[in-house]
Amino acid sequence: MPCLSFRRRMLFNMYQRTLRSSFLCLIILFLTIIIVILLTFRLSNLQQECSTNINVPQQQQPQRIQYNSSSEHPVIFIGGMPRSGTTLMRAILDSHPLVRCGEETRVIPRILSMRAAWKKSPVEWNRLIAGGISESMIDSAVRAFVYEILLQHGKHADVLCDKDPFVLKYTSYISSIFPNAKFLLLIRDARAVIHSVMTRKVTITGFSLSDYRQNLRLWNKGIETMVNQCTEIGKDKCLMVYYEQLVLQPKKTIADILKYLNLPWVESVLHHEELVGKKISLSKTEHSSDQVIKPINTEALTKWVDHIPKDIKNELDTLAPMLKKLGYDIQSDVPTYGVADQLVLDNMNKLKENADFWNAKAKSYARQAPNDTRPFQNQSAQRTIH
């Protein structure tokens, strides 16, 4: 009997273990089926999302940069000393259907200045390297930052463009991180630049509203840096554009610029004023907005004449030797820049005949922010100009 009882207990235990094992198997099978169903459902949703994104037009999709995607859009950088026609140049390019420049970003020259400051300081640069931050990592981040600003700055365009005057102090470096970029360096007679700065009270770091000598020296140092940078990367990448020729012979000058940029000719580039408030957006915090709302004209070409002190005229060769190097006549009191073409003559007549209209329009775009650009200037720009 004891033996029989033991067998019964053994059989009962085996039966219990079998039941438990079967129950466990059923639970595992049930969970497996649930997981398969959930995965199938998720996969179906992902396919629908991908299909939806494909059907959304490019300009409606968020445009986020991927690593090294800076080559996706051609990029143009416009710069030069302030009051040299950079705003007019960007308005002209903005009138082209394939290009989008927009207002000054302010932040692009700042990030370039920061990178230059790190590189210039051995202590700071070594600290970055010791911390595992390599030069290629920094350059990749700067490129991504700049490109993202350009990409998101306005509506979709085939060609992106940046107009920040001092950005061309970094032409060589920008060219290294944007190898396909092209640069336009605006050059203008220093006497006209300084007169404009002082009479329009454009406060720029280092510049004075009363000292011609100081301003001419600063102009000379700044433009020399930009010309050297432009020359370093070569004529295929950097084109020097003279403001005087841009406003006297716009059709020929702009045609040469578009050819250099590999852009087709369109008549709209000769009439940017017709697109202001439409395709072209002007910032009322910029000093030139009230001027570029007008058609291309020569109003500002020789406003400086008879306003430069005689003793300053006699020192031009010493104060600003770049004037002569760039081909400007520093001997004549009224230099000849060239002859205006018929388009410009017609524009001047249009401005004269409708003076009240254009003056009212200029007034509506007059600068409304505090007349002080110092908070926006980068420290490196100040160091280079001094």
Distance CA 309, CA 148 (A): 47
Inter-residue contact 164 to 80 (CB < 8 Å): no
Distance CA 206, CA 260 (A): 34
Per the residue annotation, which of 49, 72, 103, 104 is the catalytic one? 104
Inter-residue contact 197 to 207 (CB < 8 Å): yes
Q: Record the tokens describing residue 180, joined without a space.
A: 């396909």
104 is catalytic: yes
Q: Record the tokens describing residue 85, joined without a space.
A: 């026609």
Strand partners, 239: 184
The gap from C-alpha 148 to its chain's centroid, in whole angstroms, comes to 10
**Tokens 């084109």 sit on residue:** 239
Distance CA 365, CA 23 (A): 81
Inter-residue contact 77 to 69 (CB < 8 Å): no
Distance CA 305, CA 84 (A): 16
Q: In this structure, what DSSP letter does residue 214 have?
A: H
Residues carrying an active site annotation: 104
